[in-house]
Amino acid sequence: MSEIKKHIAVSQVESDHGTLSYLTSEQPETKTRETTEIGIALRNKHVNLETYQAKSEISQEQISDLNSFHGINAIEMVESALANESRISQEKQIYKKLKLLGYESNRKLWTKFQLFANKWTGYIPMVNVSEAGSLIRRITLLSNIIATTSRMGPAKFIIISPGLLHHFVNENGFTPEDHDSGMDISAGSIYKCGTYRDNLEILINPTLKWTDKRVVIGRDTVNPNEGVYLLEHSEGPQYTRMDRVNYGSLVPMTETILRTRYGLVHTPNASKNYITITCTEKKHNIITHIMEKYFKRKK
């Protein structure tokens, strides 16, 4: 299982339609002198699985040549490449959902004036991480906010680009991951590079640009609590092969299609488990943003 899927709830269904049952707190808490009461309800969410496919084609001459001269099974090679592409595509969808939920949660921390001012000026708040240890301190603060709002505990992982890793490797609490232990670090897959103080996993998304300064902070989804759920069809990936002729070159081809069926959904209050921030190493606030946007001279 890929690293990012370990932090969401994954289950198998036997049809293209599934039902997700989860617990949610919908009633406001009531406090008395001795007790605090919180309303808990069981809710159901219907999920329709979607079909995703990756396709590749190779000429039958190439298949024969690779097998004859190099002993390579071209069909297995194509299927392996399609499986890797399908996995990366799914991880991108999961990452995008976590990131957007984190932005939604981040906006809830703004005051009404900040919401109005940021929308009016187009300002996107950023976290200054120019000082040593400033990023990990902010992550610790936001982890505590996640624990308070979700009532399920602090953050358990962060997802960053390779360019932000230097903020952690010099911290005393950072423990690098042993990649010789059989961990799957396939090309393009999100992988675990280490932990901070043994309770915060640091995941690297290699598909992000080196200059990407976004940090997704989140806690694990534990069934049946609020969070992100991945429902996969129990049949697993399905390969289909067919022989055809390329109408342009009249070359016999073998086309391979990989189809996977799954549904990626989140519960109504899933954003409480995530916060997404954007970092900068320059002085950045709403005043500097206005100055750069409206008063900076064009060269």
Q: Is residue 164 part of a domain?
A: yes
Q: Is residue 28 part of a domain?
A: no
pTM of the model: 0.89
Rounded-to-integer distance, Cα 135 and Cα 170, Å: 12
Read off the tokens for 66.
Answer: 């690779």
DSSP designation for 226: S
In the chain, the number of structural domains is 1
Exposure b/e, 172-210, CB count within 10 A at least 16 = b: eebeebeeeeeeeeeebbbbbbbbbeeebbbbbbeebee
**Cα 170-143-189 angle, rounded to 5 deg:** 65
Q: Is residue 35 part of a domain?
A: no
What are the tens digits of pLDDT across the range 15-42? 998 889 998 876 565 666 667 677 788 8
Q: What is the pLDDT of residue 274?
A: 97
Rounded-to-integer distance, Cα 199 and Cα 183, Å: 19
**Under-50 pLDDT residues of the chain:** 299
What are the tens digits of pLDDT across the range 229-260? 999 999 999 999 999 998 888 899 999 999 99
Q: Is residue 34 part of a domain?
A: no
Q: Is residue 98 part of a domain?
A: yes
Q: What is the pLDDT of residue 174?
A: 93
Q: Is residue 23 part of a domain?
A: no
What are the tens digits of pLDDT across the range 35-44? 767 778 889 9
The amino acid that residue 294 corresponds to is Y
Q: Is residue 39 part of a domain?
A: no
Q: Is residue 228 part of a domain?
A: yes
User: Residue 77's domain spans which residues?
Assistant: 4-18+47-295
What does the DSSP assignment read for 51-70?
EEEEEEEEEHHHHHHHHHHH
Q: What is the pLDDT of residue 179?
A: 65
- C-beta atoms surrounding 264 within 10 Å: 18
Question: What burial class does residue 168 get, using C-beta atoms within 10 Å of its C-beta: 0-12 exposed, 13-18 middle, 19+ buried?
Answer: buried
